[in-house]
Amino acid sequence: MQASNLDNRDKAWSGRFSEPMSELLKRYNASVGFDKRLAEFDIQGSLAHAKMLNKVGVLSNDDLAAIERGMAEILADIREGRFDWSVDLEDVHLNIEKRLTDKVGDAGKRLHTGRSRNDQVATDIRLYVRDAIDQIVPLIRAVQTSLVDLAEQNADTVMPGFTHLQVAQPVTFGHHLLAYFEMLERDAERFTDARRRVNRMPLGSAALAGTSYPIERAYTAELLGFEQVSRNSLDAVSDRDFAIEFTAAASLVMMHLSRLSEELILWMSPRFGFIDIADRFCTGSSIMPQKKNPDVAELARGKSGRVFGHLMGLLTLMKGQPLTYNKDNQEDKEPLFDTVDTLTITLSIYADMMRGITVKKEAMRAAALQGFATATDLADYLVKRGLPFRDAHETVARAVRFAEQKGCDLADLSLAELQAFHASIEQDVFAVLTLEGSLNSRNHIGGTAPAQVRAAVVEARRLLGL
């Protein structure tokens, strides 16, 4: 029994077992291959915990100094790629603790006083997610800035607005781009709001019930920059709502970027020909020399499903767990880490790619002249002359059918032809039927008139702090 126990000597729980862990279970159980990403946050949390233990008299000044010295060396080794991660030690926490103990002796063994890996990992993940949010929000702002710059350049650029992917009414390209600015503004708000719930410290909850040591959680929270401490130890060690909320917010960003991706793909198609994307963001074909493929947009559209899957995975992971911590929660990290990586690189490349878009204004204008985009303007014209809207709608529908049979736009019909549908139509109708007339008539907050687009750009820059 003694010999068998020696095979477990590096385990934090070795005293309980009479035979060594199987080699298969070692591989199945180990998380160090991916959770080593938490190393710097783990060290950060450990140093704050050590300072708190010293403050309350549980850890001596000499032990604290030794821990701080050892952790500084370990951190340097990790950053420089010299740290040897061991699967036998299961996870990031035990790897670092073992190395610390090797360096400073018993002081390293005293570090874990008053805490558990349960509250330790919950703290590490919150520090990680908080840091990720602090990096992601500026990336969202960078994409928004690119959108605003392009929108300002195209405040007067006419394009067809669509419903059901059919030509609906004229809009400006600047107005269209600013719709995505608004989506991303909500995304930034969501992450900022979620950060408040992430920024609550579970450390001090220990395994599940708290600890009998005279800890000062508020002091530890202050050292780590947490705004609050958790109010219930059972919830604190088992809660992963914050990771799910983060991934949900990330899913919404990816959904918005996927919608934009779909439009960029369509607009770049020769069937639309509205834009061109800079060569550095496209690829070619191995067989068709003429091809220029919008791979960034296609990849972003595809990667949105990857992030959605992570959200569903985390929800499924948590749905059947009784209180408190369960080993299932080891599976929370890989989807969370991949979500951060996917969102970060997608936002980064979009901020750059949107600056590499060439707008083909004449093609947009030509498309806006198709599909009777000013039909609603003619209906509004008739309403202003006393016709009930439903009657005006019917009248214009008949005029559209006539123009369609004739093979021309409403604006190409003669005054006499238009008056055949309603006698109140006069010469001034042609100003209404122009693309510019349609745009300028929608001169109100949120409208597509160029003046409103420029005003929206000013407001967007104010929101961005530019």
CB atoms within 10 A of CB 27: 10
Answer yes or no: do 226 and 205 share one domain: yes
At residue 429 the predicted structure's pLDDT band, cuts being 50, 70 and 90, is: very high
Answer yes or no: do 126 and 65 share one domain: no
Kindly report the backbone phi and psi dihedral angles of residue 47, in degrees, each rounded to the nearest multiple of 5, phi listed first.
-65, -40
Answer yes or no: do 87 and 139 share one domain: no
Answer yes or no: do 196 and 281 share one domain: yes
Angle at 207 (CA atoms; ends 204, 211), nearest 5 degrees? 45
Reported as type and span, the H/E element at residue 415 is helix 415-419
CA distance 62 to 50: 11
Residues 28-78 have pLDDT tens digits of 889 999 999 999 999 999 999 999 999 999 999 999 999 999 999 999 999
At residue 4 the predicted structure's pLDDT band, cuts being 50, 70 and 90, is: very low
Residue 20, domain member (yes or no): no
- CATH number of domain containing 54: 1.10.275.10
Q: Quick check: is 285 catalytic?
A: yes
Q: What is the pLDDT of residue 19?
A: 77
Q: What is the pLDDT of residue 139?
A: 98
Q: Are 108 and 97 in contact (CB under 8 A)?
A: yes
- CATH number of domain containing 433: 1.10.40.30
Q: What is the pLDDT of residue 3?
A: 40
- Selected catalytic residue, list 4, 22, 60, 285: 285
Identify which of 434, 336, 441 has the alpha carbon closest to the alpha carbon of residue 380.
Answer: 441
Residue 12, domain member (yes or no): no
Q: What is the pLDDT of residue 285?
A: 87
Q: Is the pLDDT of residue 9 over 60?
A: no
Answer yes or no: do 195 and 234 share one domain: yes
Answer yes or no: do 169 and 84 share one domain: no
Reported as type and span, the H/E element at residue 186 is helix 173-198
- CATH number of domain containing 153: 1.20.200.10
* Pairwise pLDDT comparison (12 vs 8), residue with the higher score: 12
Identify which of 377, 394, 388, 391 has the alpha carbon closest to the alpha carbon of residue 429.
Answer: 377
CA distance 27 to 71: 27
Rounded to a whole number of angstroms, the distance between the first and last alpha carbons of the chain is 69
Residue 161, domain member (yes or no): yes
Q: Is the pLDDT of residue 242 over 70?
A: yes
Answer yes or no: do 164 and 243 share one domain: yes
Answer yes or no: do 133 and 235 share one domain: yes
The domain boundary, picked from 344, 365, 386, lies at: 365
SS3 226: coil
- Selected catalytic residue, list 164, 212, 286, 414: 164
CA distance 194 to 221: 18
Q: Is the pLDDT of residue 11 over 70?
A: no
At residue 25 the predicted structure's pLDDT band, cuts being 50, 70 and 90, is: confident
The predicted model scores a pTM of 0.92
Residues 408-420 have pLDDT tens digits of 989 899 999 999 9
Q: Quick check: is 393 catalytic?
A: no
Residue 162, domain member (yes or no): yes
Answer yes or no: do 105 and 158 share one domain: no
Q: Is the pLDDT of residue 79 over 80?
A: yes
Residue 7, domain member (yes or no): no
Residues 153-166 have pLDDT tens digits of 999 999 999 999 99
CA distance 368 to 436: 11
What is the arithmetic mean of pLDDT over 69-88? 97
At residue 5 the predicted structure's pLDDT band, cuts being 50, 70 and 90, is: very low
The domain boundary, picked from 66, 85, 113, lies at: 113
Residue 16, domain member (yes or no): no
Residue 3, domain member (yes or no): no
Residue 190, domain member (yes or no): yes
Answer yes or no: do 53 and 75 share one domain: yes
Q: Is the pLDDT of residue 263 over 50?
A: yes
Answer yes or no: do 288 and 379 share one domain: no
What residues contact residue 101 under an 8 Å CB cut-off, 6+ apart?
108, 109
> 256-265, 308-317, 432-441, 452-461: which range is least confident on average?
432-441
At residue 10 the predicted structure's pLDDT band, cuts being 50, 70 and 90, is: low
At residue 27 the predicted structure's pLDDT band, cuts being 50, 70 and 90, is: confident
What is the arithmetic mean of pLDDT over 374-382? 92
At residue 24 the predicted structure's pLDDT band, cuts being 50, 70 and 90, is: confident
Residues 384-403 have pLDDT tens digits of 999 999 999 999 999 999 99
> 437 lies in which domain range?
370-464
Q: What is the pLDDT of residue 37?
A: 97
Answer yes or no: do 94 and 141 share one domain: no
At residue 15 the predicted structure's pLDDT band, cuts being 50, 70 and 90, is: low
Q: Is the pLDDT of residue 21 over 90?
A: no
At residue 1 the predicted structure's pLDDT band, cuts being 50, 70 and 90, is: very low
Q: What is the pLDDT of residue 14?
A: 57
Residues 293-333 have pLDDT tens digits of 999 999 999 999 999 999 999 999 999 999 999 999 999 99
- Domain count for the chain, please give it: 3
The domain boundary, picked from 317, 343, 365, lies at: 365
Q: Is the pLDDT of residue 368 over 90?
A: yes
Q: Is the pLDDT of residue 6 over 80?
A: no
What is the arithmetic mean of pLDDT over 105-120? 97
Average pLDDT across the chain, whole number: 94
Give the whole-number percent of the chain exceeding pLDDT 90: 90
